[in-house]
Amino acid sequence: MHTIYARINNLSALLSSCLMVLLGAVAVSSLLFTVNPTAEVVVASVQVVPGNARRYAKKHQEFAFVNFNVTADLTPLFNWNTKQLFMYVSAEYTNKQGVANEVVIWDRIVRRKEDAHIAIAGRNKYIFREMSTSFRNVPPANYTLKYNIMPYVGLLTYGEAGRTLEPVAFPEQHQLS
């Protein structure tokens, strides 16, 4: 009638189908119960300083250094399907040519719900420079705290936790002494 191999094949096909349905239910249920977190982003100061863009090139550019304060409660983002949370502060601005830019200036990975209460007074972790070499006549920038939920099963979820209340202008450059 049926060989042992055919019976094992049928049983493994049934079990894998049941497992896929269960994983799909887990992914859908975790997407339905996502709650928006609360956060506040305050930019304390922005400094623009001149510098060289490359080590060996003689191309001068301006670099922006942003001091910011972030307070956030990201615990509502953690549920039984959350593996870790990637959060980052980004600067959104439009340059002189009218091109919209979004630059990540700071990031952190949160792996536990106990570490999801954030109170940081920091400075940008990554280089913040304008590709047109100057921040002069560039409109003010908005700074936002965004997150990315990395689940055990399912799709990555992106969101915005907080934003500066009003755009922050770039000052004229400071001369280094």
pLDDT given at position 176: 45
pLDDT along the chain (177 residues), means of 10: 85 89 78 79 87 67 89 90 93 87 93 92 88 80 93 87 86 59
Instruction: State the burial class of residue 40 (Cβ atoms within 10 Å of its Cβ: 0-12, 13-18, 19+).
Output: middle
Name the residue ranges covered by the structural domains of the chain.
1-32, 35-163
Say what the pTM is.
Answer: 0.79
Tokens of 106: 């700071």
pLDDT given at position 177: 39
HEC states along the chain?
A: CCCHHHHHHHHHHHHHHHHHHHHHHHHHHHHHCCCCCEEEEEEEEEEEEEEECCCCCCCEEEEEEEEEEEEEECHHHCCCCEEEEEEEEEEEEECCCCCEEEEEEEEEEECCHHHCEEEEEEECCCCCECCCCCCCCCCCEEEEEEEEEEECCCCCEEEEEEECCCCECCCCCCCCC
pLDDT given at position 88: 95
CA nearest neighbour of 146 among 104, 117, 116, 118: 104
Indicate the CATH number of 35-163 among 2.60.40, 1.10.10, 3.40.710, 3.30.70.
2.60.40
